[in-house]
Amino acid sequence: MNVQLSTFVLYFVVVFAIGWYALRATRSEADYWIAGGKLGWLVGGATMAATHTSAGTFVGTIGVMYVAGWSFGWLVLALPLAYWFMAAVLAPRFTRVKQLTLPAFIETRYYSKGVRALAAVIILIATVVYVQAQIVAGGLIANIVFGVPVSWGMVGFTAILLAYTVIGGMIAVVYTDLLQLIIMVLGAICAVPLAIRQVGGVEPLFTYVEAVNPLTFSWEAMPALLLFTMGLSFLLGGVATPEKLIRLYAMRDMRTIRRGILLTIVAVTTLNLLVFVLSLAAVVLFPNLPTGDLAMPMLATAVLPATLGAILLAAITAAMMSTVDSLLLVAGSALSVDIYQLFRPDAPPGRRLWVDRAGIVVVGTIPVVLLLSGVGEGELVQFIVLLFTALMASSFFIPVVVGVYWRRATREGAAASMVGGVTTALAWEGWGPADAIDPVLPGFLVSAFLMVVVSLLTPPPPASATDPYMPSPRKP
């Protein structure tokens, strides 16, 4: 058995062991969906960081920077601001009432089961888009490590993800995320100095990069307005994506959330900076790749020693898995908790848990079927990730943030905001100048406009919907 294969076998054995432990520790739906709401700062921060650090980072970011240069790299500056906003502004009010899902918050704040179902449908559709990007990356890794066709690799990685996620729920996900974050950090730290040595040092690295691609360190490779709006997408989407918001419910209290998000900021920023250096090395060492998404796998197999290459490939796999399992939980809960239980509210707890697991299987299977049918095939991973982020920001940033700060926000305003925002973002992606302005900007503006206008034109919400999240207004 070669080094790569044995490394992956060991990794998957540990992952399944965690899933088995989580199965025994899961006693209720709260355990299954939010780990009982009792996570400490270390596991809570690690799972937040690992969820963020997807194939979009280890495959997609390098892929885009391989093509467009370091002008794309400034977007990482938006991420610490997004997490600061989440901890300092949103979480103190958002977590006053713990829920199992984001649509459950939507129902409580906007006093409507219909608006909850609408939120669940948006999550299901957008999640399919995002999971496709991660599965494509998994197929590439399987092709390199095991020599199987990419399509087989996509099916195999999805089956592994479904197995431990379905078995253990959130408890399995958060502890595998901790393991995966450790692997990601170790893989990147080991890879950077070896990649720099391969090109002769730091100074030759920059010299060679400019010789191979003179636009790498310029602002000319991508339009400035597109870069700015992509950064806005990362900022707004970093706050509003359901798989991150639900982790605020999973952590014990606000002190835990603040410490956990500080860990997230340090880990995510460190990993992104390391990935930026690897992208430069890939430009020098592999100047003629057919797609930038192959840059990181090529570094792992052609540059690093076998053991370290296997660790880096495991890190890429960990990045993909740590995001997909979280998305599967979010989408599965949207299907089973927010839609099924809307029609069967009296279903016994045992049946609900089985439906929960079935929901994850259904949601996890759809992206693979679409990819095998040719839908979404061939896109750079990072651009698929950006589309998902734009959809989430356009759908949920305004209803969530405005919902805990503005008493006048109504259910009609929330529904119009979500539908208008996501429809505008999708329309812009399909027919607008998406190569000049990221869809998040028009989607966000339409979402905000509709929330304000429709809310002011409709009856105010009852106090029971707003009091849990906002201090009662002072009476004269």
Q: Residue 1's pLDDT is what?
A: 47
Model confidence at 383: pLDDT above 70? no
Tokens found for residue 230? 């992509």
Residue 251's DSSP bridge partners are: 39
Q: Residue 476's pLDDT is what?
A: 45
Average pLDDT over residues 70-92: 86
Q: Best-predicted range by mean pLDDT among 207-211, 434-438, 464-468?
A: 464-468
Q: Provide φ and ψ at 251, rounded to 5°.
A: -85, 155
- Give me the percent of the chain exceeding a pLDDT of 90: 29
Q: What is the pTM of this model?
A: 0.84
CATH superfamily of 3-373: Sodium/glucose cotransporter (1.20.1730.10)
Of the listed ranges 39-48, 58-67, 116-125, 362-371, the one predicted with least confidence:
58-67
Q: Residue 238's pLDDT is what?
A: 85
Of the listed ranges 95-104, 217-226, 254-263, the one predicted with least confidence:
217-226
For residues 297 and 386, give the distance between their C-alpha atoms in angstroms, rounded to a whole number. 21
Tokens found for residue 221? 């490779």
Average pLDDT along the chain: 82
Model confidence at 244: pLDDT above 50? yes
Average pLDDT over residues 252-274: 92
Model confidence at 340: pLDDT above 60? yes
Q: Residue 187's pLDDT is what?
A: 79
Q: Residue 365's pLDDT is what?
A: 84
Average pLDDT over residues 118-126: 88
Q: What are the domain boundaries of the chain?
A: 3-373
Of the listed ranges 66-70, 330-334, 389-393, the one predicted with least confidence:
66-70
Task: Name 422's Cβ contacts closer than 8 Å, sequence gap at least 6.
Answer: 122, 126, 391, 394, 395, 443
Q: Residue 152's pLDDT is what?
A: 85
Q: Higher pLDDT residue, 415 or 64? A: 415
Q: Higher pLDDT residue, 347 or 189? A: 189
Model confidence at 460: pLDDT above 90? yes
Q: Higher pLDDT residue, 291 or 51? A: 51
Half-sphere exposure of 168 (CA within 13 A, CB side): 25
Q: Residue 284's pLDDT is what?
A: 84
Q: What per-residue string of b and e applies to 298-334 under the rule 16 or more CB within 10 Å gives b?
A: ebbbebbeeebbbbbbbbbbbbbbbbbbbbbbbbbbb
Q: Higher pLDDT residue, 389 or 319? A: 389
Average pLDDT over residues 402-428: 96
H or E stretch including 126?
helix 113-146
Task: Name 164's Cβ contacts closer than 8 Å, sequence gap at least 6.
Answer: 15, 16, 18, 19, 22, 172, 176, 325
Q: How many CB atoms lie within 10 A of CB 462?
A: 9
